[in-house]
Amino acid sequence: MEALALRLSGLDPYAGGAIRIVAFYDTLMRRRVDLPALARASAGLAECVTGIRVHGTGRAVRVSPLGTEADAPAPPAPAPPASTTVPVTLDEEEIGEVWLERPGPPNALDEVLLDRLAIAVAAAVERYGPARTTMADPALVELAVAPTTDPAARARALRLLGFAPGRPVQAVAVRSGLPLDRIGARICPAGLVKAAVLAAPGGPGRPAGPGGYGGLAGHGAPGGLAGPAGPAGPARSAGSGGIDGQGGAPGGPAGLAGPAGSAGSGGIAGQGAHGGPAGPAAPAAPAGLAGLARLGGPDGRGRPAVSGGEIGVLLTTAVDPARFPDGVRAGVADADSPETSWRQARTALRFTTDHQPVVHYADLGALALLADVPDAAARANPDVAALARAVAGPEGQEALETLDAYCATASLRRAAERLHLHHSSVSRRLDQLGKALGLDLTAPTGLTRARLALTAWRLLADGPEPGRWP
């Protein structure tokens, strides 16, 4: 890299300086330096105050070019404004920011330096964290919630996700076009939340894995796939010494398969032994940035959301059900163990409707047993089959809305208020429905049968095209 920088300097000194910056931060990351060491090295390179802030901890580091902590302004004077700022992203989330406090105008290569510093900060936070991000490694989430995972592997997965041993972990199943990190921040603003997108059990092209568990999108384990998995990540090197006498960070074997569609992305590395001798000093900074050219800024980044045939899983220690955003359908579990909680959350999600977008498993009671009825047995039931025929006609949507309102309220007048119709109109619709179903909907037994048939029909239709007879 140094030889390339020398050759480029003869042709274009700006490009040569950029290459030297890249090589400088590559060396720092190979030596696994921590945040203070990154800030000191960057301040010396930029020849101005350099700052690093991590949102999850609220911690901010400001270092002067001399390598000492930058003096805070005396109150009430405000802090010096940042001349250039770049966000730090990890797992497609913004976890912090880095900035320079240059007295004059920004230097030509300030953004190049900050881009590389942001990458190095993300790596350090992930290594020395745990990083407080919402989107988690799908392989770890699968290990945490899959019913076939042994207790030791589940405990290790939860620990790597950041959950303390022995703490109850609750699962939430969601369907929404909103990013999962945004939903997680709403329902648990103060606690730890981890999220991933899973392939729905039994969905198209996603056969259920062992124990009926749908495979994770892009994960190479048994179960459904949502696109090809990337190849295995490279082996992590054994721990080498760090800056300022730090011990080596853990090494490990080759990573698991990468996520769907991202060829060559590595997965999780195993844990190696800690320790190791003190590493060498930080690399010498190349010449200052004066006169170097500015290169392009960072690219935009996507935010994972749930698409058709997929279910989002949120793992957290506490849930505020009243804080779910509009447009989100969610099943909230009652159990504290991740595997049981995830099964309950998926079941509760199947019972959600437009009028009841959030369902608690504990509120289902005996209705939850309907989720275990085999599809063939439900389709063969005369009440369910009659309902399917009734809603398949030209006035099927009208019939479905009327029956839904009546079953939810058990009152002709309250159903009329819910539908914004006159009660005589609702009465006429219910008479027609009763004849089609062969039930007396005004009798308690007929209403109970209609409720069960409607619920069973919805569970059958809970697939790629909800609301249609399978």
The model's pLDDT over 330-344, given as tens digits with 9 standing for 90+, comes to: 999 988 889 999 999
Of 42-56, 108-122, 219-233, 273-287, the range with the lowest mean pLDDT is 219-233
Average pLDDT over residues 403-421: 89
pLDDT higher at 187 or 248: 187
* pLDDT exceeds 90 at position 239: no
Give the CA angle between residues 85, 80, 121 to the nearest 5°.
Answer: 35
Model confidence at 452: pLDDT above 90: yes
Q: What is the pLDDT of residue 213?
A: 36
Cα(99)–Cα(119) distance, rounded to whole angstroms? 13
Higher pLDDT among residues 33 and 290, named by residue: 33
| Mean pLDDT score of the chain | 73
The C-alpha torsion from 149 through 150 and 154 to 155, rounded to 10°, is 180
Give the Cα separation of 210 and 146 in Å (integer).
Answer: 9
- Rounded CA-CA distance 443/451 in Å is 12
Mean pLDDT of 377-389: 92
pLDDT at 359 over 70: yes
Is the model's pLDDT at 254 over the cut of 60?
no
Q: What is the pLDDT of residue 59?
A: 74
Q: Is the pLDDT of residue 225 over 90?
A: no
pLDDT in tens, 93-132: 788 899 999 988 888 889 899 999 999 998 888 787 655 5
- At residue 288, the pLDDT reads 40
Residue 426, pLDDT score: 87
Mean pLDDT of 430-444: 90
pLDDT score for 165: 85
Q: What is the rounded CA–CA span in Å between residue 33 and residue 368?
A: 52
- Residue 385 pLDDT > 60: yes
Q: How far apart are CA 231 and CA 167, in angstroms?
A: 34
Most confident of 247-251, 345-349, 430-434: 345-349
At 276, is the pLDDT very low, low, confident or very high (cuts 50, 70, 90)? Answer: very low
**Alpha carbon distance 180, 135 (integer Å):** 7
Cis omega before residue 338 (within 30°)? no
Mean pLDDT within 291-305: 36
Query: For residue 306, what pLDDT is reported?
Result: 59
What pLDDT is stored for residue 15 in this prediction? 76
Give the pLDDT score at 265. Answer: 32
For 148-179, how does the pLDDT look when each residue is reduced to its tens digit (9 = 90+)?
Answer: 999 999 999 998 888 888 888 989 999 988 88
pLDDT category of residue 319 using cuts at 50, 70 and 90: confident
Determine which of 142-146, 163-167, 348-352 has the lowest per-residue pLDDT on average: 163-167
pTM of the model: 0.55
What are the Cα distances from residue 435, in Å, to 338, 439, 440, 451?
A: 46, 7, 8, 16
pLDDT at 203 over 50: no
DSSP-derived secondary structure for 406-466: HHHH--HHHHHHHHTS-HHHHHHHHHHHHHHHT--TTSHHHHHHHHHHHHHHHHHT-SSST
pLDDT at 216 over 90: no
Residue of 12 and 345 predicted with greater confidence: 345
Mean pLDDT of 131-145: 79
Q: What is the mean pLDDT of residues 294-301?
A: 32
